[in-house]
Amino acid sequence: MIKKEHNKIAFINARIVDPDSGLDGLGELIVHNKLIKDVGRNLLNGSIPEDHLIINCKNNILCPGLIDMCSHLREPGEEYKENIESASKAALSGGITSMICMPDTNPIIDQISVIEFIARRARETNGVKIFPSASVTKGLQGKELTEIGLLQEAGAILFTEGDQALSNTKIMKQALEYAKTFDALIVQHPQDKDLSANGAMNSGALASKLGLPGISKVAEIIQVEKDLRLIENTGGKIHFINITTKEAILAINKAKKNGLNVSCSTSPHYFNSTEDSVDEWKTFAKVTPPLRKEEDRKYIFDALINRNIDLITSHHSPQDQDSKRIPFEQAEFGIIGLETLLPLSMELHFKGKMQIIDIIDKLSNKPAKLLNLKSGMLKKNYPADILIFDPNYSYKLNIDKIKSKSKNTLYENYNMRGKVLATIVDGRLMYKSSKFKIKSI
Amino acid sequence: MHVLNKWLIDNSITRLAFAKKINISTATLSRYLSGDRIPKQSIMKKILEETKNEVTPSNFYTSQNKNIFNNNFFKKHLLGIEGLTKKEISSLLDRADSIVKQNKNNVIKQSYKGKTLVNLFFEDSTRTKTSFELAAKRLGMDVINMQIETSAIRKGESLLDTAMTLNAMRPDILVIRHSLSGAPHLLANKIRCSVINAGDGKHEHPTQALLDALAIKNRKGKIKNLKVAICGDIAHSRVARSNIKLLITMGAKVNIIAPSTLLPNGNNLLGAKAYTNMQQGLKDADIVMILRLQLERMQGSYIPSAKEYFRFYGLDRNKLNFAKKDALVMHPGPINRGVEIDSELADDINRTLILEQVELGVAIRMSVIEHLLNNNNLNNKK
Give B292 to chain A, closest Cα distance, Å: 17
pLDDT 10s digits, B146-191: 867 654 555 555 778 887 888 888 999 999 999 899 999 999 988 8
pLDDT at B302: 86
A293 touches chain B (CB under 8 A): no
> Is the pLDDT assigned to residue B357 strictly greater than 60?
yes
A51 phi/psi in degrees, rounded to 5: -85, 5
Q: Could you give the count of Cα atoms lying within 13 Å of A235 in the half-sphere of its Cβ?
A: 4
Quote the CA–CA distance of A203 and B284 in Å, as a whole number: 32
Residue type, position B280, single letter: Q
Average pLDDT estimate for B303-309: 87
**Residue B152 CB contacts under 8 Å (≥ 6 apart), including other chains:** none
Percent share of chain B, pLDDT over 90: 47
- Count CB atoms within 10 A of the CB of residue A435: 13
User: How far A306 CA sits from the closest chain B CA (Å)?
Assistant: 31
Measure the CA–CA gap between A14 and A29, rounded to whole angstroms. 8
DSSP per residue, B256-317: EE--GGGSPTTS-BTTBEEES-HHHHHTT-SEEEEPPPPGGGSSSSS-S-HHHHHHHH-B-H
Average pLDDT score, chain B: 86
Which residue numbers in chain A have pLDDT < 70?
1-5, 46, 439-441
CB pairs under 8 A between A and B: 74
Residue B58 has pLDDT above 80, yes or no: no
pLDDT at B380: 65
Complex-level ipTM? 0.81
Distance, CA of A402 to CA of A392 (rounded, Å): 20
Please state, in angstroms and rounded to a whole number, the distance separating the CA atoms of residues A417 and A399.
16
User: Are the Cβ atoms of A327 and B178 closer than 8 angstroms?
Assistant: yes
**A92, containing H or E segment:** helix A84-93
- Tens digits of residue pLDDT in B1-30: 677 888 888 888 888 888 888 888 888 888
Interface test with B, best of A194, A279, A328 (most B CBs within 10 A): A328
pLDDT of B109 strictly over 70: no
d(C-alpha A171, C-alpha A165), whole Å: 12
Instruction: Give me the pLDDT at residue A368, please.
Output: 97
Nearest to A211 among B156, B186, B202 (CB): B202
Nearest partner of A310 among A377, A257, A359, A259, judged by Cα: A359
pLDDT band, residue B314 (cuts 50/70/90): very high
* Beta-ladder partners of A395: A416
Test A327 with B204 for CB contact under 8 angstroms: no
pLDDT > 70? residue B48: yes
pLDDT at residue number A441:
46
- Cα–Cα nearest to A267, from A410, A419, A160: A410
- Please say whether the beta carbons of A174 and A360 come within 8 A: no
Enumerate the residues of chain B whose CB falls inside 8 A of the CB of residue A330. Answer: 155-156, 180
Closest CB to B157: pick one of A213, A214, A326: A326
| Chain B residues whose beta carbon lies within 8 Å of the beta carbon of residue A281 | 181-182, 185-186
Q: Is residue A244 within 8 Å of A220, Cβ to Cβ?
A: yes
User: Can you give the pLDDT at residue B124?
Assistant: 80
Residue B180 burial (CB count, 10 A): 26
Output the 3-class SS for B37-56: CCCCHHHHHHHHHHCCCCCC
Chain A interface, best mutation among B202, B204, B241, B261, by max A CB count within 10 A? B202
Q: In the structure, what pLDDT confidence band is assigned to residue B100 with cuts at 50, 70 and 90?
A: confident
Closest CA to A168 of A133, A186, A196, A194: A194
What confidence score (pLDDT) does residue B104 get? 65
- Position B151 scores a pLDDT of 46
Q: Which amino acid is at A218?
A: V
For the segment B198-210, what is each residue's pLDDT rounded down to a tens digit? 999 999 999 999 9
State the Cα–Cα distance between residues A66 and A198, nearest whole angstrom: 34
Other beta carbons within 10 Å of B270: 20
Candidates A193, A192, A174; CA nearest to A136 is A174
User: Which of B79, B82, B203 should be substituted to probe chain A, the one whose Cβ sees the most A Cβ atoms within 10 Å?
Assistant: B203
Q: Give, in order, the Cα–Cα distances in Å from B199 to each of A26, A439, B88, B240, B250.
A: 64, 64, 20, 11, 21
A280 — contact with chain B (CB < 8 Å)? Answer: yes
- Cβ contact A140:A103 at 8 Å: yes
Residue A422 has a pLDDT of 95
